Structure 1
Amino acid sequence: MDSVTLDGLDRQLLHALQLDGRAPFSRVAEVLGTADRTVARRYRRLRAAGAARVLGLPDVRRTGHREWFVRVRCLPDAAPALADALARRPDTSWVTVLAGGAELSVLVRDPDRALLEGLGRTPHVLSVQPCEMLRPFMDEGRAWPGRTSALTAEQVAALRRRRGGTGGRVVLNELDARLLPALAVDGRAAYPELARAAGRSESAVRRRLAELRLAGALQFTVETDPRLFGYAASYMLWLTVAPGRAAAVAGALAGDTEIAFIGAVTGPAALVAYLVCRDADDAFRYLDGRVGALDGVRGQEAVPVTAYAKKVGSVPARRPARAPR
Structure 2
Amino acid sequence: MDPVTLDDLDRQLLHALQVDGRAPFSQIAGVLGVADRTVARRYARLSALGAVRVLGFPDGRRTGHAEWFVRLRCLPDAARAVGAALARRPDTSWVTLLSGGSEISCLVRTAERSGDGPVLLERLTRTPRVVSVGAQRVLRDFSDHESGWRARASALTREQAAALRPSYGGAVAWDGLTDLDRRLLPALAVDGRTSCASLAQAVGWSESVVRRRLTELRRTRALLFSVETDPRLFGYTTECMMWLTVSPGRVPEVAEALSGDVEIAFVAAMTGQANVLAYVVCRDIDALYDYLTGRVGALPGVQRLESVPVTGYAKRMAVPKE
**TM-score, structure 2 as length reference:** 0.93
Q: Which residue of 1 aligns with 2:22?
A: 22
Q: Which residue of 2 aligns with 1:251?
A: 256
1:2, 1:75 → 2: CA distance?
A: 35
C-alpha deviation, 1:162, in angstroms: 2.8
Is the contact between residue 259 and residue 274 of structure 1 (CA under 8 Å) also seen in structure 2?
yes
1:247, 1:2 → 2: CA distance?
A: 44
2:15, 2:26 → 1: CA distance?
A: 15
Percentage of pairs with the same residue: 64
1:8, 1:71 → 2: CA distance?
A: 38
Q: Which residue of 2 aligns with 1:230?
A: 235
Compared CA separation, residues 241 and 164, structure 1 to 2 (3 A): farther
Q: Which residue of 1 aligns with 2:190?
A: 185
Q: Which residue of 2 aligns with 1:127?
A: 132
Q: Which residue of 2 aligns with 1:300?
A: 305
SS in 2 for 1:21: coil
C-alpha deviation, 1:166, in angstroms: 3.7
SS in 2 for 1:156: helix
Q: Which residue of 2 aligns with 1:309?
A: 314
Deviations 1:172-214 (A, max 9, x none): 2221222112111111111211111111111011011111111
Is the contact between residue 240 and residue 280 of structure 2 (CA under 8 Å) also seen in structure 1?
yes
RMSD: 1.8
Compared CA separation, residues 114 and 181, structure 1 to 2 (3 A): closer
C-alpha deviation, 1:243, in angstroms: 2.1
1:164, 1:280 → 2: CA distance?
A: 43
Q: Which residue of 1 aligns with 2:108?
A: 108
Is the contact between residue 310 and residue 316 of structure 1 (CA under 8 Å) also seen in structure 2?
no
SS in 2 for 1:76: coil
What are the equivalent positions in structure 2 for 1:271-282 lying under 5 Å apart? 271-282=276-287
SS in 2 for 1:50: coil
Q: Which residue of 2 aligns with 1:320?
A: none
Equivalent residue letter for 2:275: A
Equivalent residue letter for 1:213: R
C-alpha deviation, 1:140, in angstroms: 2.6
Q: Which residue of 1 aligns with 2:113?
A: none
2:262, 2:214 → 1: CA distance?
A: 32
Q: Which residue of 2 aligns with 1:8?
A: 8
C-alpha deviation, 1:139, in angstroms: 4.2
C-alpha deviation, 1:133, in angstroms: 0.5
Is the contact between residue 90 and residue 319 of structure 2 (CA under 8 Å) also seen in structure 1?
no
SS in 2 for 1:245: helix
* More deviation, 2-11/285-294: 2-11
SS in 2 for 1:267: coil
Is the contact between residue 165 and residue 215 of structure 1 (CA under 8 Å) also seen in structure 2?
no
Compared CA separation, residues 19 and 153, structure 1 to 2 (3 A): same
Q: Which residue of 2 aligns with 1:54?
A: 54
2:73, 2:173 → 1: CA distance?
A: 37
Is the contact between residue 96 and residue 308 of structure 1 (CA under 8 Å) also seen in structure 2?
yes
Is the contact between residue 67 and residue 138 of structure 2 (CA under 8 Å) also seen in structure 1?
yes
Is the contact between residue 56 and residue 187 of structure 1 (CA under 8 Å) also seen in structure 2?
yes
C-alpha deviation, 1:54, in angstroms: 1.1
Q: Which residue of 1 aligns with 2:72?
A: 72
Is the contact between residue 87 and residue 319 of structure 2 (CA under 8 Å) also seen in structure 1?
no
What are the equivalent positions in structure 2 for 1:21-40 lying under 5 Å apart? 21-40=21-40
2:301, 2:92 → 1: CA distance?
A: 32
C-alpha deviation, 1:167, in angstroms: 7.4
SS in 1 for 2:143: coil
* More deviation, 257-266/88-97: 88-97
Is the contact between residue 56 and residue 220 of structure 1 (CA under 8 Å) also seen in structure 2?
yes
2:119, 2:82 → 1: CA distance?
A: 16
Equivalent residue letter for 2:288: A
* More deviation, 172-181/281-290: 172-181
Q: Which residue of 2 aligns with 1:322?
A: none
Q: Which residue of 1 aligns with 2:210?
A: 205
Is the contact between residue 164 and residue 213 of structure 1 (CA under 8 Å) also seen in structure 2?
no
Query: Aligned residues, how many?
Result: 317
Is the contact between residue 147 and residue 229 of structure 1 (CA under 8 Å) also seen in structure 2?
yes
2:235, 2:175 → 1: CA distance?
A: 39
Compared CA separation, residues 93 and 165, structure 1 to 2 (3 A): farther
Equivalent residue letter for 2:18: Q
C-alpha deviation, 1:69, in angstroms: 0.3
* More deviation, 119-128/178-187: 119-128
